[in-house]
Amino acid sequence: MKTIKSLFLLSLLIVNILISSTYGSSIRVSIVGGEEAEVIEKPRTFGNKRELKLEYSQIYPKKKLNQENINFMSARDTFVDNLMSKMSIAEKIGQMTQLDITTLTSPNTITINETTLAYYAKTYYIGSYLNSPVSGGLAGDIHHINSSVWLDMINTIQNIVMEGSPNKIPMIYGLDSVHGANYVHKATLFPHNTGLAATFNTEHATTAAQITSKDTVAVGIPWVFAPVLGIGVQPLWARIYETFGEDPYVASMMGAAAVRGFQGGNNSFDTPINAPSAVCTAKHYFGYSDPTSGKDRTAAWIPERMLRRYFLPSFAEAITGAGAGTIMINSGEVNGVPMHTSYKYLTEVLRGELQFEGVAVTDWQDIEKLVYFHHTAGSAEEAIMQALDAGIDMSMVPLDLSFPVILAEMVAAGTVPESRLDLSVRRILNLKYALGLFDNPYPNPNAAIVDTIGQVSDREAAAATAEESITLLQNKNNILPLNSNTVKNILLTGPSADSIRNLNGGWSVHWQGAYEDSEFPFGTSILTGLREITNDTDDFNIQYTIGHEIGVPTNQTSIDEAVELAQSSDVVVVVIGELPEAETPGDIYDLSMDPNEVLLLEQLVATGKPVVLILVEARPRILPPALVYSCAAVLMAYLPGSEGGKPIANILMGNVNPSGRLPLTYPGTTGDIGVPYYHKYSENGVTNPLFQFGDGLSYTVFNYTNLVCSNCNPISGQASNYSGVLGQSYTFTVTVTNNGNVQGKDSVLLYLSDLWAQVTPEVKMLRGFQKVDLMPAQSQQLSFTLNAYEFSFIGVDNKITLESGQFIIMVGNQQLGLYLQ
């Protein structure tokens, strides 16, 4: 690996020498707001450089409104102006308040206490509710909520809210539909976001979001708390599986695709969002995903330059590029400031730079936590003032009435002006108007959409997504796909081999995951999938034993049973990983794999039988590298969802050619974390991952040829070297050929390296990806266009900066040099 890195760096140096011999220094020009300013010559040690500055308003020009947009906004503004003129202070505060469904249900039931609900509606005018009554676990003996029960609940809540509202303002209900409508019984469950990212196919992100919205809206819930847009750079973090991996570009593209899927391609500020679409929530804005301790909701220390370089782009793309209608705020603190109190980030950056016009909702209890968790406020009043000053619109209180009671007192005392309420209330009413809640606040139990929940085509879409996500990381002697002519006896073992629960992970039926497989009406475990596609006949025998459970004392007898069965098997398939978890309850103190799973794997490898290792896990749990390398093959399955078992089985047997790629760096040791693939040049050689970002094998062979820049200027006498003008877009083409014997899909990744900059550049950054599907001997030319922003970095002034200089474009083994003047 070090030899490869050395050759790569040497090639960059050679390209630099060739280009530098042709071009000398250039002037530096500061451009602010797109207009050229005074030319300033400022020598540097490596010559004068030309510099451009970009604003987000240039990267994402404001949408040009058509007449339909203008008419919609005019009618909305007239309606909302009239409504707000009639609303009392209490009604306005009620619109800013969100309560959990369990504040309405009787203990250990899902029955709405209508007396309590009417009191909330007539006294506090509560404008929003959230969550599933079985999110935290069983309600009595009730495991899940089906569509008819959901519809009854939503209609009951809405009816009593409307009766209690002097101005007939409907409530809006929100739900964590994280990987499908996971709280709606029979809804299709998709791979979690790391699995979606592994497809490197934005179409899957869009499709998953569309089906998720449909199934959520079908039960009368128009607000989806997804997608998570933080980048997964802290492998200890319990929520890393909810991210699209470690790369900002992947998170940006997959996140924006999901936003468009959820909202039907519409922006709730200038266009209505109609069923089957819902308004989505870009969360958790921002910096939440890299807590220093690795524990959920704990402090993150992320310099401003890093925040803007790595953590902000996915939110910018989702909000300003794709039009996400709401954002949920980071529960943690960044650089000593809780995000809920940051005027800089919630107002100056979010509202100013990103031009966000939607609703900003807190996360769970996060205003109250400013007092007892973050200690920035000495009282509830001070906490509310801090959050309002920062820019929140709605408080997910969510278990009591403290927010509306105290805020009303603060308004009465003159501490909070009514005009501040109006800012947030207008955004909330605008959202309700865009969702059509004023015209049609009640869901229709007889709507055709209800019958589509869990339909076959949806489950097939989830299986197709899982197929493209599964990542083949190791395949010695082409052990996979298994040859049915020589492999007659398979041992399938491991705690996740026959567990739909483990395939789904957290946010599945319940917040912390399902209790048992019977809670899933649909789905296929790996064992069931393998038996279905092989028919499990006398000619092809599948033996199964659990091997060992997760998180229990060592059971050597169970391991011995697996080892004994392995002796009579041609191949051993071991499926290990994690139990379901979510958020703070999922905090861990050691990234190592469960020791009993390691023990099981060690003893099976010691039999000398070929071992195929399948990882079903929320995080990249650490295994001894030598043990992993002793396995014949390694498949990364992530958390593939209910439909994941059969796709894995199809890949094992060769019915599907794997095409996933790792969307994160898989560390080799517990002390070697926190160094993503886009590390700095000074970090070369300091990390030794088990598997690299972008790794992924196939059953066929793809070759890349003819990487060229179609609109650059070739440098005379220097093959594969080009020049261009700073601030322009450039298009690169490459030819991909399937040189193998089977059809296959390939994720083609384009990287950019900036050789020198005023702040230390990364070794490389992903700047494009496409998925192709090729038959044997088939070729396809792909085109990637990089705009000016994609050549930028965050400068010493923390502004988006472009600088003249030398760049390398890389696709597979192809690379070219580009000098921008």
The answer for residues whose C-beta is within 8 angstroms of residue 182's C-beta and 6 or more apart is 176, 189, 504, 507, 508, 509
- Coil, strand, or helix at residue 612? strand
Q: Are 549 and 495 in contact (CB under 8 A)?
A: yes
Cα dihedral 341/345/351/353 (nearest 10) = 170
**Residue written as tokens 């001070």?**
382
**Beta strand ranges found along 186-332 (DSSP E):** 223-224, 281-285, 326-329
Per-position DSSP letters for 533-599, written without gaps between them: HHTT-TTSEEEEE----SSS---HHHHHHHHHHHHT-SEEEEEEE-----SGGG--S--BPPHHHHH
Q: Which amino acid is at 383?
A: A
Distances (CA, A) of 3 to 10, 473, 507, 729: 10, 20, 43, 34
Q: Are 181 and 223 in contact (CB under 8 A)?
A: no
For 52, the enclosing helix (H) or strand (E) is: strand 51-54
Distance (Å, rounded) from C-alpha 250 to C-alpha 766?
A: 8
> Exposure pattern of 692-710 as b/e (b: 16+ CB <10 Å)?
bbbbbbbbbebebeebbbe
Query: What's the length of the chain?
Result: 821
The answer for residues whose C-beta is within 8 angstroms of residue 751's C-beta and 6 or more apart is 764, 765, 766, 767, 809, 810, 811
Active site residue 363: yes
Helices 645-653 and 526-534, axial angle in degrees (round to 10): 50
How wide is the angle at C-alpha 680 spanned by C-alphas 714 and 232, nearest 5°?
110
Two structure tokens written together for 248:
């900002």
Closest CA to 662 of 697, 633, 687, 686: 697
Q: Are 735 and 779 in contact (CB under 8 A)?
A: yes
> Exposure pattern of 524-534 as b/e (b: 16+ CB <10 Å)?
bbbbbbbbeeb
Phi and psi dihedrals of 156, rounded to 5?
-65, -50
Q: Of the listed 100, 290, 363, 498, which one is catalytic?
A: 363
Per-position DSSP letters for 430-464, written without gaps between them: HHHHHTTTTT--S--TT-GGGGGTT-HHHHHHHHH
Distances (CA, A) of 31 to 14, 308, 800: 32, 19, 11
Residues assigned a catalytic role: 363
